[in-house]
């Protein structure tokens, strides 16, 4: 790590401030619309049934529905309760993402830019305001990655071990919300193995004095990053073991997952909003979550990426490939790996019906790459410095421009949505 990066001040206060602003904006008018919209029709009823131990939505894991059910239990069956879990998860995930970028890079400007870019990439905001499983899964995934990156920076074995345990808890709960984070959750264990081998060759399996975290052997790391998250994940199925109909067997791990996979593979009917991974990366196909007249005004929520930052991120991806290969930028390499494995899951799994919101995690890691690129441009102190600043400002401006059509704000007239439909494929 360059000396300037080692001596950089942690912008944790600013990151926390951005997170608080994000949460406030996410909670503002979160009860609009006042009834289910888009996939809330699946997950909120399933959470309500879970309170009575009635099985529903059995193709997905339990934890996301447990979070929604818990807020309904304490706040009542109303929109604020349905959506509070994803909103808090979105804020937690945003802060965790800022901590992840800081621990990877120790670059102040990059960390602040990454936090602002993710908060305004539209996808993170939209998914934080709807009662779906994705933001609970993504937010906890970011926490798990943050804690692992912090473990690599820990100054004592005890601190590193605590971080690894917290990482394992978060990863298990993330997987317990939805399986989409699985590729990213494999990466900490793989990275730990690679770093161990890189320092001391293959004879490191039981040695504690080698590798990235002195005092933590590869065998111990396997427990905290592999077996422990799986145990936490299985514990989230505990309520299902008390279902009034066809309860899950406590030792029926394999049978339960065979059943869940069969249910997921059975969804083959084409959907008007389905899309493919190569459309996601260029922000080609959106999803209309809502378009309805409510409380005397036309309102809409379109699931779309930030028209500037999601495309600028692709340029940053190319830069990151180059700098990771020729300048050994391991922070860029880590985010590249996370982006690619999360995208490859959808490109290779053969699931016939996929949607743009599956790009939630890859799109987040892309914002990290964009932030690293902007930071590199700021370091040059020439005309590229101006380009970096303009790019960040334009990203924030695009979020502000699209805010009405991603937040169910009242539109001046029914056809006003055309102001934001810049591509025919967005209609």
The pLDDT tens digits for 149-201 are 999 999 898 999 999 999 999 999 999 999 999 999 999 999 998 888 876 65
What mean pLDDT is predicted for residues 21-34?
97
Residue 209 has a pLDDT of 54
What mean pLDDT is predicted for residues 282-299?
93
Residue 7 has a pLDDT of 64
Q: Is the pLDDT of residue 24 over 70?
A: yes
- Its pTM stands at 0.94
Q: Is the pLDDT of residue 215 over 90?
A: no
CB 23 within 8 A of CB 88: yes
Q: Is the pLDDT of residue 3 over 50?
A: no
In the block, tokens 């199925």 appear at 237
pLDDT one-digit tens code per residue, 46-85: 999 999 999 999 999 999 999 999 999 999 999 999 999 9
Query: Domain ranges in the chain?
Result: 11-426
Is the peptide bond between 33 and the residue preceding it cis, with omega within 30 degrees of 0? yes
Residue 200 has a pLDDT of 63
Tokens linked to 55: 């099985």
Q: Is the pLDDT of residue 236 over 80?
A: yes
Among 317, 311, 340, 341, CA closest to 329: 317
Helix (H) / strand (E) element for 299: namely strand 297-303
């Amino acid at each position: 790590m360059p000396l300037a990066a080692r001596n950089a001040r942690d912008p944790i206060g600013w990151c926390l401030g951005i997170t608080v602003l994000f949460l406030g904006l996410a909670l503002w008018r979160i009860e609009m619309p006042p009834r289910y919209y888009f996939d809330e029709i699946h997950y909120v009823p399933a959470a309500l049934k879970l309170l009575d131990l009635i099985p529903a939505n059995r193709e997905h894991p339990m934890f996301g529905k447990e979070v929604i059910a818990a807020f309904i239990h304490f706040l009542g069956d109303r929109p604020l309760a349905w959506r509070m879990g994803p909103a808090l998860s979105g804020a937690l995930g945003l802060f965790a993402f800022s901590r992840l970028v800081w621990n990877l890079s120790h670059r102040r400007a990059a960390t602040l830019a990454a936090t602002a870019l993710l908060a305004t990439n539209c996808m993170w905001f939209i998914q934080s305001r709807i009662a779906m499983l994705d933001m609970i899964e993504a937010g906890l995934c970011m926490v798990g990655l943050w804690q692992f990156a912090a473990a690599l920076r820990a100054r004592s074995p005890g601190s590193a071990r605590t971080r690894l345990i917290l990482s394992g808890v978060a990863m298990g709960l993330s997987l317990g919300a939805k399986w989409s984070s699985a590729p990213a959750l494999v990466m900490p264990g793989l990275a730990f193995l690679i770093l161990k081998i890189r320092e001391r060759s293959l004879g490191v399996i039981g040695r504690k004095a080698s590798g990235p975290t002195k005092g933590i052997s590869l065998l111990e790391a396997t427990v905290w990053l592999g077996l422990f998250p799986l145990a936490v994940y299985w514990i989230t199925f505990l309520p299902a073991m008390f279902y009034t109909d066809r309860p899950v067997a406590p030792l029926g791990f394999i049978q339960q997952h065979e059943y869940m996979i069969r249910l997921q593979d059975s969804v083959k009917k084409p959907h008007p909003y389905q899309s493919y991974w190569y459309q996601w990366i260029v922000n080609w196909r959106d999803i209309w979550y809502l378009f309805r007249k409510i409380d005397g005004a036309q309102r809409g929520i379109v699931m779309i990426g930030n028209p500037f930052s999601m495309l600028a991120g692709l340029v940053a991806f190319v830069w990151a490939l180059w700098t990771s290969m020729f300048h050994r930028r391991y922070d860029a390499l880590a985010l590249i790996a996370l982006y690619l494995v999360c995208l490859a899951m959808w490109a290779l799994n053969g699931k016939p019906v996929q949607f743009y919101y599956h790009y939630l995690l890859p799109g987040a890691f892309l914002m990290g790459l964009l932030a690293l690129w902007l930071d590199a441009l700021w370091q040059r102190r020439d005309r590229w410095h101006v380009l970096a600043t303009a790019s960040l400002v334009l990203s924030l401006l695009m979020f502000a421009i699209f805010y009405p059509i991603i937040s169910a704000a009242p539109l001046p007239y029914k056809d006003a949505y055309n102001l934001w439909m810049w591509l025919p494929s967005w209609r």
